[in-house]
Amino acid sequence: MLDKLKESIKAALPELDFVMGWGMGYDPLHATPLYMYEPEDVDNLVWGPLNVHNLAVHLPSLKGKKVGIVVKGCDSRSVVELLQEGLINREDVVIFGAPCNGIVDMSKIRKAVPDAHFVHSVETDDNGLTITTDKDTHKLSLAEVMADKCTRCRFPNAVVADHFVGEKREPTVENDAYEDLESFESQGFEERRDFWMTEMDRCIRCYACRNACPLCVCRDHCVAQSRNPHWVSQRDGVRDKFMFQIIHAMHMAGRCTECGECERACPMDIPVLLLKRKLGTVIHDLFDYDSGLDAEARPPLLAFKLEEESIKEKDW
Amino acid sequence: MRIGVFICHCGSNIEGTVDTAEVSRIARDYPEVAFATDTMYACSEPGQDGIIEAIGEHKLDGVVVASCTPRMHEATFRNTLERAGLNPYMFEMANIREHVSWIGKDREANTNKAADLVRMAVEKLRRNQPLIAKEFDINRRVLVIGGGVAGIQAALDCADAGLEVVMVERESTIGGKMAKLDKTFPTVDCSSCILGPRMVEIAQHPNITLYACSEVDGVSGYVGNFSVKIKKKARYVDWDKCTGCGECVEKCPSRKAPNTFDEKIGPGRAINIPFPQAIPKKATINAEYCIKLTKGKCGTCEKICPSNAIDFQQQDEIITEEVGAVVAATGYDLFDWTVYEEYGGGRYPDVITSLQYERLLSASGPTGGHVKRPSDGKEPKNVVFIQCVGSRDKSVGRPYCSGFCCMYTAKQAILTKDHIPDSTSYVFYMDIRAPGKLYDEFTRRAMEEYGAQYIRGRVAMVYPDGKGNMIVRGADTLMGRQVEVQADLVVLAVGVESAKNSPQLAEKLRISYDSYGFFMEGHPKLKPCETNTAGVYLAGACQGPKDIPASVAQGSAAASKVIGLFSKEKLKSDPQTANVDIKRCIGCGKCVLTCPFGAIKEVDFRGQPKAEVIETVCQGCGICSSTCPQGAIQLRHFTDNQILAEVEAICRF
């Protein structure tokens, strides 16, 4: 399948400035974004559970160039969202899709493989990963170290693609039951507040969550680093950290595709995706809307209606 | 910045439960406050002079007044600042009356809260910028919605003052409810005799364009420059050709159509001209009952019409009119009297509404002015009037008094005696409300000279006696006993409710309406015919139940407001609009999508898309600024930083 993907990229490459995919990073355990300008670059392409990054985050800054992008199912929803918001032009982007069996959660691997500092080799197959370090060899099943979002994946195949290779895979689940959110919300107010206060207090304000988010499109103009408007101050303390996360979540309401990049990028492992998942359920229940599926749809919070069908303010 | 703070006593309204001297003492410690004092009435002439004096003496460049609501006096104090040579937007108001003194009795807590609200105002003011209003042209045409007596008055007054008037009427004729009345109280003069000439004037006035059988479909724009979409409903008759001869009405075989003008008691036709004095006097086809339009056969009217005016292909048509002001005069509708099952309205033919009775009394009505009861055409000898049907009754959601039913019932009792000298009228009433000029005398005349039997009490039930008459059973609370009256005819004095679809129209006009659907005036006492939307005025019962003199007075008042508005050379736009910081704007266009007024457009700035606000169209609602994720679009005078400063001012701990 990887060969087919490479072939199809090579075939399209002459028409494109470059194609984004994944290649091997600084060690065999870490993939890294790969920019393919020449056919020989394509030979470095990898596909598998280590392709954790959502490359759609780079697309808006490439507006005006003609680029190709390799996407997993979840990444493709971000592309749809960017198309919908006019941040990229459909004719300037060529999308390569392939079925995804799920990606790993590096935090889980770090826990399972305490000596993952010097990795000699990683072999992946249908059953999982074999990681050989300088001390030991670890056999891990994919289920053990899979990212949480993949356990509830509804779109393993790209929802939009110009070139799709391989057999389409059945979704992992029919519907996301939001069990994580439900169990979190079953706690009392005090517990939930204490949880967030503790978690948010660990934030180091590196803004990796924001920078990894494909839909955080304000870039240099983010309100987190602006004096006018001055929403977030330079003060140290949980208040401003929490404020930023709430702003981020609110800006994502109705746009977030729950790709999980914010949480993956967080060096402190703060579960910030949970906030976005909460707003996702609210939007879904209120507007019967799922983001990142239809480039022609209008997200409910980016429209003005005198009367919302589902919000009855008046009795007529 | 040098800020002056003025804490108003509002007589004892605020001082009664707030230590204003203490609030001003606390305010002196707020940042950049150079002067603070308490004052008896800040809005009074000496109060305003005191502010102007302090501005000069202490070299103030910003003022906070802690008093009542901005809706009440913001404009007042902005003028004060302007007179003192300051920019009127270097002013903030803290509402320590509605938000403090009127809602709490604890003087110490109130004083603390008042001081907090003043702190918020100071913090906001510190971030205020001088704003300058822009001037724009006025389109000196006015739209009058509704052709009842209030709308007619407003239209004629405007037209006589030289303004071009567009009148839109939902029905096929103007005249409204007044055209249906036989006589009017308290003078008992003929309704159509006094209204008719006014209606003719509307038709003939060179400054008035009348769209009957039409409705307002949408309104866009702003004061001075509204664009109104008007839906001319299909009437299936070419009104340019129709001469109003009425031959089609006579020959129309479809006789089940309701005669809405006669309140459904007279015979109806699918093609109809409402009444002889109708303006415009044109035939209209009721598509629901027309045999040709429903079954494809018939077409009698088409064959008979001498001027070939029938057009079964006619469609609804949307036209656009540009106006500078709007007068809403959409009147009222009757409460659904069948809700009172105990009165038998809608079940017994001889229980009718007061408006139906007007049609029976009217010489142009279905009975030619001979009072005949609907069931058997017999002349009634005993007529029972039941008051407050859908008025002053919480149980049916109508706790308000409709205002004029007492009077028209007295009039109908008098007219009944005039029509049938050997008749007796019985009136079941709760209280008699007759506060107008010559009104109480009139009700007394009904009782004393015309022998109407007034019974104070509610009716428990109305039922047929089996011999063709009705029995009205009720309480006589003055005598403290039950009464039963045998009635040939029962007339329900049905109360007033807002006209159908009033809330929808209000939304189109962007004006407020109350929980009953009546349009909200700008101020219950001091702005009775303005709305809180600039350029939209109210006349007549659309604002609340009103009789003819009051409706006419408000029609004239609304016209005078329009004339006053149009007498200005140019209008000033509100500078509190959204504004794009072009450096921060990334051109994502989210603001363009959410703006309800279409006031934001995308422009090209050195090859990059950017948002731009059309200031005259912007209404300052702020949806764009809450949509913009990076805060690049800000509402002037309500910027994020100003609001955040206010929040910080009260959440200090």
pLDDT at B286: 94
> Does residue B590 contact residue B628 with C-beta atoms inside 8 Å?
yes
B641 CB neighbours in chain A (<8 A) are 228-230
Nearest-by-CA chain B residue for A223? B630
Residue whose pair of structure tokens reads 């190709």 in the numeric block:
A68
Name the residue range of residue B585's domain: 578-636
Interface of B with A (CB under 8 A): 503-504, 507, 581, 584, 586, 588-590, 593-596, 623, 627, 629-632, 634, 639-641, 644
Rounded CA separation B212/B196 (Å): 16
Is residue B363 packed enough to be buried (19+ CB in 10 Å), middle (13-18) or exposed (0-12)? exposed
Rounded CA separation B482/B380 (Å): 23
B640 CB neighbours in chain A (<8 A) are 229-231
Regions of chain B short of the pLDDT cut 70: 653
Q: Do B630 and A303 touch (CB under 8 A)?
A: no
Within a domain: B573: no
Question: Are residues B214 and B72 part of one domain?
Answer: no
Reference B534, options B562, B570, B499, B575; nearest CA is B562
Q: Do B641 and A228 touch (CB under 8 A)?
A: yes
Asked whether residue A316 carries a pLDDT value surpassing 60, the answer given is no
Reference B285, options B243, B235, B232; nearest CA is B235
Q: Do B631 and A231 touch (CB under 8 A)?
A: yes
Within a domain: B391: yes
Question: Are residues B338 and B268 part of one domain?
Answer: no
Q: Which of A218, A230, A316 sits opposite B629 (nearest CB)?
A: A218
Asked whether residue A314 carries a pLDDT value surpassing 70, the answer given is no
Name residue A219's amino acid: R
Q: Do A302 and B629 touch (CB under 8 A)?
A: no
Name residue A242's amino acid: F
Side by side, which strands form the sheet with A163-164? A31-36, A18-24, A67-71, A93-97, A163-164
> Helices A238-252 and A273-287 meet at what angle, rounded to 10?
40
Q: Which of A85, A251, A303 sits opposite B594 (nearest CB)?
A: A303
pLDDT at A315: 61
CA distances, A314 to each of A306, B63, B517 (Å)? 11, 40, 11
**DSSP state, residue B155:** H
Question: Are residues B339 and B324 part of one domain?
Answer: no
Reference B548, options B173, B194, B213; nearest CA is B194
CA angle B51, B53, B59 (to 5 degrees): 95
A303 touches chain B (CB under 8 A): yes
pTM of the model: 0.73
Q: 3-class SS at A197?
A: helix
Question: Are residues B542 and B403 part of one domain?
Answer: no
Reference A70, options A91, A48, A40; nearest CA is A48
The structural domains of chain A, with segments of one domain joined by +, span 177-316
Q: Do A218 and B630 touch (CB under 8 A)?
A: yes
Q: Do B586 and A229 touch (CB under 8 A)?
A: no
Question: Are residues B61 and B86 part of one domain?
Answer: yes
B644 CB neighbours in chain A (<8 A) are 229-231
Rounded CA separation B246/A98 (Å): 76
A14 touches chain B (CB under 8 A): no
Number of domains in chain B: 5
Q: Per residue in A251-282, pLDDT tens?
A: 999 999 999 999 999 999 999 999 999 999 99
pLDDT at A306: 72
Q: Which of A218, A226, A298 sits opposite B586 (nearest CB)?
A: A218
Within a domain: B457: yes
Question: Are residues B410 and B323 part of one domain?
Answer: no
**DSSP state, residue A134:** S
A contact test, residue of B588, B592, B630 with most A CBs within 10 A: B630
CATH of the domain at B593: 3.30.70.20
Within a domain: B326: yes
Rounded CA separation B380/B373 (Å): 6
Question: Are residues B505 and B493 part of one domain?
Answer: no
Asked which of B566, B595, B622 is the last residue of a domain, the reply is B566
A222 CB neighbours in chain B (<8 A) are 630
Nearest-by-CA chain B residue for A307? B507
Q: How far is B78 from chain A (nearest CA, A)?
A: 26
Omega within 30 of 0 (cis) for the link into B186: yes
Question: Are residues B418 and B522 part of one domain?
Answer: no
Question: Are residues B117 and B34 part of one domain?
Answer: yes
A contact test, residue of B593, B628, B634, B642 with most A CBs within 10 A: B593
> Helices B149-160 and B191-204 meet at what angle, rounded to 10?
40
The DSSP H or E segment spanning B218 is strand B214-222
A254 CB neighbours in chain B (<8 A) are none
Q: How far is B547 from chain A (nearest CA, A)?
A: 28
Question: Are residues B545 and B486 part of one domain?
Answer: no
Q: 3-class SS at A280?
A: helix
Residue whose pair of structure tokens reads 């870039």 in the numeric block:
A219
A contact test, residue of B498, B584, B642, B648 with most A CBs within 10 A: B584
pLDDT at A117: 85
Strand B325-328, strand B141-145: pairing: parallel
First to last CA, chain A: 57
- HSE-up (13 A, CA, CB side) for residue A215: 30
Query: How many contacts does A have with B, using Cβ atoms within 8 A?
Result: 58
First to last CA, chain B: 26
pLDDT at B525: 92
CATH of the domain at B114: 3.40.50
